[in-house]
A and B are shown apart, each in its own frame.
Chain A
Amino acid sequence: MSGFGGAPARLEERIRVDADGQVTAFSGKVEFGQGIRTAFAKIVAGELGVPIERVTVVLGDTALVPYDMGTFGSRSIAQDGEILRRAAAHARVLLAAKRPLVGPIPDLIPGEPAPPAAGPRRVEAADIVTGRARYVADLRLPGMLRGAVARPPVRGARPSRVDDGAARAMSGVVAVVRDGDLVGVVAERQAQAVAAVQALEIEWLRPEVPEQDTQSIAIRDDPGVDAALGGAATRVEATYAMPYISNAPIGPSAAVADVRTDGVTVYAGTQRPFGLRDEIASAVGVESERVRVIPLMPSGTYGRNSVGDAALEAARLSKACGRPVLLQWSREEEFAQGPARPACTLEIAAGTNEAGRLVAWCYDEHTNAHGSGGARDIKIAPFTSGRNAVPPYAVPCLAVTLHIEPSPLRTASFRSLAAAENVFAIESLVDELAAARGEDPLELRLRNTQDPRLRAVLEAVAERSGWGARPRGEGHGYGMACTLYAHGTYVAQVAEVTVAPNGRVRLGRFWCAVDPGRVIDTNGVRNQCEGAIVQSASWTLLEELKQRDGRVATTGWDTYPIATFRDAPAEIDVHVMGTQSEAPTGVGEPPGVPVAAAIANAVFSACGARVRELPITADRVRTARR
């Protein structure tokens, strides 16, 4: 295995051991709550045979770590965890031989991987509960000003005339900044910057919106699908839909930029520090080598930090005023200006023979561009906007077509990209097929997959939830769904729900069996699974980003409710069944993927209501129950 850019990874870029025995490990991945700093520290300490307290992990600082594409796709443990493991194992050999820690990291290390070191469940925990942890917006630099930016009434509108007389005269205002289409204020205090922006009189030019076509990409196109569907003994056709939703981080975007003639430093919550470095360089007109991006902890943003809006704006403000600037977006800006997860309409027709074996499957996925870069690229799109569009079942005759449609809203990356929508449709449809055949959906799934690891998670979750023996109906039910997520993590889940007479759905217990290959940190896997389930249940039951003609109508949590402590499931049982012989495949995204179908299928089993459009509101349940 090679490092990025084709060059083999080098030991001196990855591990440093000081004379006093302190170890520093370097990775271009970043931490935003998923626990990779802890996992990396455990891997490195384990291979070197030192206590975890001696290991410091440096993440994402572009001046200190080797180049990295970015932290997404639940790939950190698989990619950098593996490089660090080999680096540390190799370093141990060199240290024993009293040789310097330089040179290429070998592709193969003889022997088994060392067990990860013991240590705290999260290395940042004590700093977080005492308030010592420094998040991006917590940084205070000498001479730092606060920024705020004027927002256009519609996306893409450009300022034609700016009257800043009133704003300039306001208390604390240092400068009104006009840099191309960016109009903003820098002031001594946050409230002063915000008030001054509100005092700007701006005339905006309506944007010319370029027409964009729908782009259709055939992911699978077996001949004879229509004929095979026509000959099916049982055939179900259904259309599913999901609305736009927001990444909705608890902390709105923030960044600190310090643009000086001798160099640029930007502190940001970013998933792509090196990509952001190049974008900053271009925005302020310097060479990339003059820009240092230092990732600090952001609030969890679940993909939203693949685009560096606040950092770019902060850099432009700092350049204009010659002082460091902290830009803190407001809650309203985060909802209205941040990217949304695409909406989708998903059409499936599928059929089985008499024996309940799938004979044909035809799927049309209509969605918008998922992902931040190259989202419409025909080579990339099947793995982003079309992620998990192909069912994990053995289907002899399969057609899967991805249609990327224009969107009035800005869309980008949200945890698991299109897998959440595709698996909602696929796993709902499987449940509908089983219902049409009058059989247990678990049996239908097992009959149609030979993949031993998928079968294993399905059987495990069925056993732990007592799937077969539980009574259903009269407002109380169970639903199952599974996925083989993009790059190899297997998940099967069972949701328990109660449906009130008025249609309101409440989660009961939730069971999850997960096989992410080799497991580094069992508690970390559990925490990610639990969190992804709670978050995805929130998408499923509550969330919709309201918009009209491309203007977001949601401004705060009152109009965008998410799951609270009262809505969280009664209990979540996570069964971690890592296959130790397999490479680790990640858990940040996969456990959220089957949740919507598991809940929708549970609602059907509870009351006969088949809800095919999210969120599953009381209204929709009542309508579907009739």
Chain B
Amino acid sequence: MKYRIDVNGAARDLDVPRGTTLLDALRDDLGLTATRYGCGRGQCGACFVLADGRAVASCLMSVEQAALHRIVTVEGLGDGERLDAVQRAFVDEDAMQCGYCTSGMLISATALLARQPAPEEDEIRDALAPNLCRCGVQLRAIRAVERAAREGR
């Protein structure tokens, strides 16, 4: 089936089987591998993307549904070379170990700061709770989101 979806500000054409998930299309057809597979059930946050500014699980969204939204992945944050405030804050706070779940955290943090530019710690914990991290960088990620809020203003 042919679809056209809006990813990172550009219209992208796809020819994929009906029912293909946005996650598979991003990774296998569009070469955007920052969005990662973790569970396929929307339970871990590794595959989060922005759909019209909200963090959603791309493993649960079909390409057909995705065509109705503006999709942004981690590759679409910042402007290629220059990091945006959230990316820079995660680097500055060293808020990562293996980094596998970092993309999903960046997406959740971006969505949070768009709707709440000065979040309390509890709001950050709630907003990133869907993002599982086994390495245990949660406290660093909280500091990173706080820093991004300060520096992004």
Give me the interface of A with B, judged by CB distance under 8 Å: 32-35, 120-122, 124-126, 128-131, 133-135, 137-138, 140, 171-172, 189-192, 248-252, 297-300, 302, 328, 330-331, 523, 527-528, 530-535, 538, 556-558, 562-566, 568-569, 571-572
B24 touches A190 (CB 8 A): yes
Question: How many angstroms between the C-alpha atoms of A124 and B152 in the bound complex?
Answer: 23
Knowing A126-B91, A556-B43 touch, does A534 contact B131 (C-beta < 8 A)?
Answer: no
Report the 6 A-B pairs with minimum CB-CB distance, sorted nearest first.
A131-B34, A33-B98, A534-B136, A531-B136, A300-B98, A299-B100
What secondary structure prevails in chain A residues at the interface with B?
loop
Instruction: Judge if B22 is at the interface, Cβ distance under 8 Å.
Output: no
In the assembled complex, B139 has its CB within 8 A of some CB on chain A:
yes
Q: Provide the B83-119 mask, 1 if CB < 8 A to any CB of A, else 0.
A: 1000110111010111111110010000000000000
Contacting residue for B94 out of A122, A563, A568, CB 8 A: A122
- Nearest chain A residue, comparing its CB with the CB of B43: A557
Contact residue among A125, A130, A557, A569 (Cβ-Cβ distance under 8 Å from B75)? A130
- Of the candidates A328, A331, A568, which one forms a contact with B136 in the assembled complex, judged by CB atoms under 8 Å apart? A568
B126 within 8 A of A: yes
**A119 → B minimal CB distance (Å):** 12
In this assembly, does B46 line the interface, its C-beta being within 8 Å of a C-beta of chain A? Answer: yes
Q: How far is the CB of A265 from chain B (nearest CB, A)?
A: 19
Shortest distance in angstroms between A359's beta carbon and chain B's nearest beta carbon?
39
Assembled-state Cα–Cα distance A248/B101 (Å): 13
In the bound complex, CA of A231 to CA of B90 (Å):
58
The answer to whether A131 touches B33 (Cβ under 8 A) is: yes
Residue of B nearest to A248 (CB): B134
A191-B24 in contact (CB<8A): yes
Q: Contact check: which of A192, A251, A562, A569 meets B100 at CB < 8 Å?
A: A251
CB nearest neighbor in A for B102: A128
**Inside 8 A of B39's CB, which chain A residues have their CB?**
331, 556-557
B27 CB–A CB distance under 8 Å: yes
Please name all residues of chain B whose beta carbon is closer than 8 Å to the beta carbon of A189 when the two chains form the complex: 16-17, 20, 24, 28
Which residues from chain B contact A557 at a C-beta distance below 8 Å?
39, 41, 43-44, 132
With contact pairs A531-B135, A568-B136 given, residues A124 and B99 touching in the complex (Cβ less than 8 Å): yes
Q: Which of A297, A328, A331, A571 lies at the interface centre, i.e. has the most chain B CB atoms within 10 A of its CB?
A: A331
B54 beta carbon closer than 8 Å to chain A: no
The reply to whether the CB of B140 lies closer than 8 angstroms to some CB of chain A is yes
Contact residue among B32, B126, B132, B134 (Cβ-Cβ distance under 8 Å from A302): B134
Q: List 14 A-B contacts (CB under 8 A).
A: A34-B97, A129-B91, A130-B87, A138-B36, A190-B24, A250-B100, A251-B38, A252-B38, A528-B97, A531-B137, A532-B136, A534-B136, A563-B136, A565-B124
User: Could you tell me if A565 and B137 are in contact, using CB atoms closer than 8 angstroms?
Assistant: no
Cα separation A558 to B44 with both chains bound (whole Å) = 10
- CB proximity of A540 to chain B, nearest CB, Å: 13
